[in-house]
Amino acid sequence: MRYHSLLTSLTALLATTSAVTVRLDGKPITIGDGGYPRAIVRHDGNLTASYARGNSIIVRHSPDRGEIWSDEYIVRNQANPDGKVVDINNAFLYQNPNGPAGEVFCAYRRHIRDRTTKDFLEYNIELSMSHDGGRKWDYLGFINRDVPRDGVHGDWEPFLRHNVEGKLEVYWAHEMSEPNQDTVKKVSEDNGKTWGPLLWMTGKDKDVRDGMANLVALDSSNQNLLMTFETNEVGPFKIWTVDSADGGKTWGNRRIIFNPENTTKGRQAGGPGIVKLKGTLITSFMTNKDAGVGDGYPHSKPGTDMAVVTSTDGGKTWSGPTTVLKDAAWGGITVVGDRALVLGAAYTTGKAAAQFITVD
């Protein structure tokens, strides 16, 4: 109990920052039927959102920031082979800030299970590309392909960015055993056609589950980066960060930025996203901090909500949480003009939902 008290006090101290107010702006938005929603604003100003449903990754487009949505466009779809089940999910949309106007990337996982035993047969992180703003999609190839074996138990949740050298990078969660998962990345020198070797970013020296990594550049140099991720290094899952001063080659200063156990022991938080809006860092995540019962991993369970914390000093200190989407999980966050859009899978309705917020 004394250890828990010390941890709670330390995390409370870390969560003290200069005042910034988070406000919900408008009503929640329904994007479509599906889960694990993500979104970007394309170069032409249109909003593109993705979600998973069945064996498909789907996108829709909005010209008016979420008021009206287009028909659905299929990024990737695969029928179940005989005796097998396709598991496609974890889509992440990305557009190169300096790339062609119509070029959009979508990374995702595509795993194959045995229909009878439910055992995994393949683990794939793959990439598709559109040249017309996200209407027609072409399969570009696999980023990482593996099979279950000693030291390989899954690959999850890709995140795309361009590094300071202009090369495309993908980060993802590489599961080596049930208690051990690390953040890894690969780098492409030909815009996603081929990929370099697997590089370890976090967790290599720890027997814990680092996952769901998202990154943000702290300044225009693209050298000073902040990564947010979930891990169970200290008790149940919490939201942590590490930082890099060399463009993501090395990472350090591993620390908790949100501890749901400040409210109730055993509560958890996971699935973070991070953006920078008007000088303020905003980290979104799912958490069951307000759940009446239960202490399991916070996804698709009563009392799990999407929330945010903010930092006005480059990630050194963080605010307390603000709940943004009730009864939602597995979401993300993106900047849309002078607002941020927090997304989440509304598990009571099966919808991909979103909510605009402002900070001042």
Q: In a structure prediction context, what are the per-residue pLDDT tens digits for the chain, which is 360 residues long?
A: 333 444 444 444 444 555 699 999 999 999 999 999 999 999 999 999 999 999 999 999 999 999 999 999 999 999 999 999 999 999 999 999 999 999 999 999 999 999 999 999 999 999 999 999 999 999 999 999 999 998 899 999 999 999 999 999 999 999 999 899 999 999 999 999 999 999 999 999 999 999 999 999 999 999 999 999 999 999 899 999 999 999 999 999 999 999 998 878 889 999 999 999 999 999 999 999 988 765 567 777 788 999 999 999 999 999 999 999 999 999 999 999 999 999 999 999 999 999 999 999
The C-alpha atoms of residue 96 and residue 359 are separated, in whole angstroms, by: 26
Q: What is the CATH number of domain 46-209?
A: 2.120.10.10
* Per-residue pLDDT at 10: 46
**Mind giving me the DSSP string for 95-160?**
--TTS-TT-EEEEEEEEEEETTT--EEEEEEEEEEESSSSSSEEEEEEEEEE-SBTTB-EEEEEEE
Annotated domain spans of the chain = 1-33+214-360, 46-209
Residue matched to tokens 């020198």 = 189
- Across-strand partners of 168? 162, 188
The answer to whether the beta carbons of residues 358 and 338 sit under 8 Å apart is: yes
**Terminal-residue alpha carbon distance, the chain:** 38
